[in-house]
Chains A and B, each alone.
Chain A
Amino acid sequence: MKRQALTSALLRPQFAALAAVLFINWLLFPGFFTITWQDGRLFGSLIDVLNRGAPVAILAIGVTAVIATKGVDLSVGAVMAISGAVAAVMVSTGTPASIAIPVALLAGLVCGFWNGVLVTYLDIQPIIATLVLMVAGRGLAQLITEGSIVTFSDPLLSYIGTGALLGLPMPVVIALVLMIVTTLAVRRTALGLLIEAVGVNRSAARFAGISSRLLLLMVYSFAGFCAAIAGLIVAGDIRGADANNAGLWLELDAILAVVLGGTSLLGGRFSIPMSVVGALIIQAMNTGILISGFSPQFNLVVKSAVIILILVLQSPQAGQWISRRFTPLTPPPKRSAE
């Protein structure tokens, strides 16, 4: 039974898409799957995909829950800039990173909480509520850095962006741990089901006695928290905070990753690991176009073409078409007997 569940999970179109993109990358660049061990850590294009994809994957983990409630968070890119700015300014003025990092994470949490208040208590549509912080947040980050790029040389903060643990780049480790912890947190508790219920039908959720306000506040706060982590990674990577460019447009990549992962923008069913897979698909495409030697101008066009293809493959119509063609005529098991 378990094995069957695993195979059916691996047969999802997202994995097929990821495999296809990686395969094409390999065709374009035969050394794509080569991984080497050097200076106590792994190197290679594949590791690069994971490493570069980590910030979007982390954003996507947070945004998944928001989208599952039929909301959206456009501000996560700006929140990245804020958290990076807070941490960079603090360490560059002599505050130890062990204090700066929690403060930056708290700043992200507060940003998310603000979004949650706008959505739940003022009843503003999520796209507008978070648009406020998307615009204002970047301004806020610029105020914190006073308009310049703040650089630092704090070892702990740059370790978050460039270090390695057990041979894996630190961003990959963080994303992996966050994914596992979050997935367990929503699936081992009732949170996942309650979030889905609120997303499917908020009115019915209210009638069923679900306190959707508290849930929404938490979900938006968590998205802000995740964005703050991604912001720290990006700041640590370049050893500086660039309020103008840190996380710019990444909110769109994050939303795309969630949608590629199969969570509907109409709310309801969600899967955090699949959103991470979605983020990896996006990064694999980016990396593939870069290493293939095509000029970067192709990047956006190719990316959009591939995305359209993947979304079409995921549609229920395509699913029915495929299953009509490829499934043997045995009825599915009636109920899992676990």
Chain B
Amino acid sequence: MRAKAELWQAGNGGQDMAGESHPVLEARGIVKIFGQHRALDGVDFAVRPGEVHALLGENGAGKSTLIKILTGAYQPDGGEIVLDGAPVRFTDPLNAQGSGIGTVYQEVNLLPNRSVAENLFLGRQPTRFGLVQRHAIVTQATALMATYGLDIDVRAELGSYSVAVQQIVAIARAVELSGKVLVLDEPTASLDRNEVEKLFEVIAKLKARGLGIIFITHFLDQVFAVADRVTILRNGQLIGTRDLSTLTATEVVRMMLGKDLAYGHSSLPVAEAAKGPVKVTFTGLGRADRVAPFTLSLHEGEVVGVAGLLGSGRTEMARLMFGVDTADEGDITVAGKPVKIRNPAQAVMAGFGFCPEDRKLDGIFGELSVRENIIIALQAKLGWFRALQRDEQDEIAGRYADDLDIRAANHDMPVKLLSGGNQQKVILARWLANDPTFLILDEPTRGIDVGAHAEIVRTINRLREEGLALLVISSELDEVVAYSNRVVVMRDRQMVAELHGADITPAVIVAAIADNTLTPEPVT
């Protein structure tokens, strides 16, 4: 894999005809270390004038760290940044902005209660005798907006316009202030299709003006629609920088997830026939701003894997199922009986469990003991007055801690002192203690050590044999293939495919994620 990555890197020089145009901004061998973790490990990155350069990678790949270094928010621990051929050091984002690098974030950070014109000229208002020339601002702002193809009243409050317009105002401001490089950090995440089109027109104009544009997104189709080149990171490593005209979507996904098409079956596919009767059914469950309606049934003793890129709607789907977000539409039945799930408490009552993606934020009670962390969901289910006595707590905690091999000096120590893998097992134990019928695991093996990793995969298989219905979301395709009876694929907040039996291979999953027609099997 490493050898291949280097090959990709080496390949970028020869294939671009404009290859000799010098990069406007370049990062060479950037290293960034947080504690013991190498967030970036010798990453090279270069954006040329007049190109749109997409930056891709899954969670934790190092995209945002790289951007923060390029825009002066972080200082690199190694490597150098080169602007217009000369090494530079950005002390802070303002400094980088002054040097020509403007950034626009997904959340527009301008002043919504001031006018568009004021937002455009804030901090550099044209003045005469020390007084702001309001009229001049309005004229100039109107002219500026016209160059972006926007005919709007610049005297109106920024907040009265759509997010798309606000985003374009933010871009205009960044370009006016900086003018060499524009970083767009997930600019389309909260836009609808027409708005995205509009934004792309603006990007095309800026590209024609010779700006270097760095474009970060989770939407592959947008990358192909607007970008010229792409740089892909994975786990802090540079996987490659390539010309998009030479790439297919499948290749991009493969580079992001680290899967080779020649990989084939990694293990025996799990027999689908082994499963029992239907346990839970979600019919047309959806929520307008999160995930399109989907239908999915899970059987007793079945593991359904969920694959998809970050932002594809995989976590959103799980949150809807568990009532963390309330669904707009759709029905849920458990063992044939309809249930209402409008909050997690109701989901717990219905026999659901959910190990969330962000352990620290949504899972762990750091100050509470291992024992309390294990019994807490059961206690919440039992209610206020049926308190578990100390000996019952000890018995339950002891049983599940042994069962999952949780390594803790004792069960009264705060759970925050345990390793990530053991914390994950504690959350798993919490749900198992609740005797669930349906368990959702969102990235259960992320950020944990190899031993605990194998343990959790083994546990998933064991729980299936014990008759649980499991939904497992994971970016690790090897894993998904190893334990899934079925795999559903998410893309663009929709469930786009359901894979069975022999189709459950990394190659087919990658193709489905990338919208390739290797084995199309659309659902509903």
Contact = CB atoms under 8 A, between A and B. Distances in A.
Contact of B380 (A188, A203, A209, A336): A209
Given A193-B379, A194-B384, A207 B324 contact: yes
Contact of B367 (A207, A269, A338): A269
A335 B410 contact: yes
Interface string B396-436: 00000000000001111000000000000000001000000
Contact of B347 (A194, A197, A209): A209
Contact of B385 (A189, A200, A203, A207): A189
B411 A188 contact: no
A188 B363 CA distance: 25
Given A206-B324, A209-B381, A335-B411, A200 B362 contact: no
Nearest to A210: B380
Contacts of A200: 365-368
Interface string B334-361: 0000000001110111000010100001
B193 interface: no
A325 interface: no
Nearest to A336: B412
B436 to A, nearest CB: 11
Interface string B380-394: 111111111011001
Contacts of A208: 344, 348, 376-377, 380, 430
B388 A334 contact: no
A209 B412 CA distance: 22
B364 interface: yes
A194 B380 contact: yes
A273 B376 CA distance: 24
Nearest to B385: A189
Contacts, number: 88
Contact of B382 (A190, A201, A335): A190
A196 B368 contact: yes
B353 to A, nearest CB: 9
Nearest to A196: B368
A193 B388 CA distance: 10
Contact of B376 (A189, A210, A211, A338): A210
A48 B131 CA distance: 68
Contact of B377 (A196, A209, A334, A335): A209
B372 interface: yes
A76 B58 CA distance: 50
B425 to A, nearest CB: 16
Contact of B364 (A193, A194, A201, A338): A201
A192 to B, nearest CB: 9
Interface string A206-225: 11111100000000000000
A335 B376 contact: no
Which of B349, B362, B377, B384 lies at the interface centre, i.e. has the most chain A CB atoms within 10 A of its CB?
A: B384
B379 A194 contact: yes
Contacts of B367: 196, 200, 268-269
Contacts of A335: 394, 410-412
B376 A203 contact: no
A290 interface: no
A33 B365 CA distance: 45
A191 interface: yes
A336 B356 CA distance: 32
A206 B362 CA distance: 8
A322 to B, nearest CB: 20
Contacts of A210: 345, 376, 380
Given A189-B385, A190-B385, A204 B345 contact: no
Contacts of B391: 338
A157 B409 CA distance: 55
Given A188-B387, A190-B388, A268-B367, A204 B379 contact: no
Given A209-B345, A268-B367, A189 B387 contact: yes
A194 B380 CA distance: 7
A203 B362 CA distance: 5
Contacts of B322: 207
A209 B434 CA distance: 11
Nearest to B379: A190
A204 B365 contact: yes
Contacts of B394: 335
Nearest to A206: B344
Interface in A283-338: 334-336, 338
Nearest to B388: A190
A68 to B, nearest CB: 11
Contacts of A211: 343, 345, 380
B376 A193 contact: yes
Contacts of A203: 361-362
A87 to B, nearest CB: 31
Contact of B387 (A190, A207, A209): A190
Interface in A233-287: 268-269
Interface string A86-119: 0000000000000000000000000000000000
A205 B345 CA distance: 10
Contacts of A269: 367
Contacts of A336: 412
Given A196-B365, A338-B390, 10 more contacts: A193-B379, A194-B379, A197-B376, A200-B366, A200-B367, A200-B368, A204-B362, A209-B345, A334-B409, A335-B394
12 contacts: A193-B368, A193-B379, A197-B376, A200-B367, A206-B344, A207-B362, A208-B348, A209-B348, A209-B380, A210-B345, A211-B345, A334-B410
Interface of B: 322, 324, 343-345, 347-349, 354, 356, 361-368, 372, 376-377, 379-388, 390-391, 394, 409-412, 430
Q: A-B pairs with the 7 shortest C-beta distances?
A: A209-B348, A190-B387, A209-B380, A208-B377, A210-B380, A200-B365, A268-B367
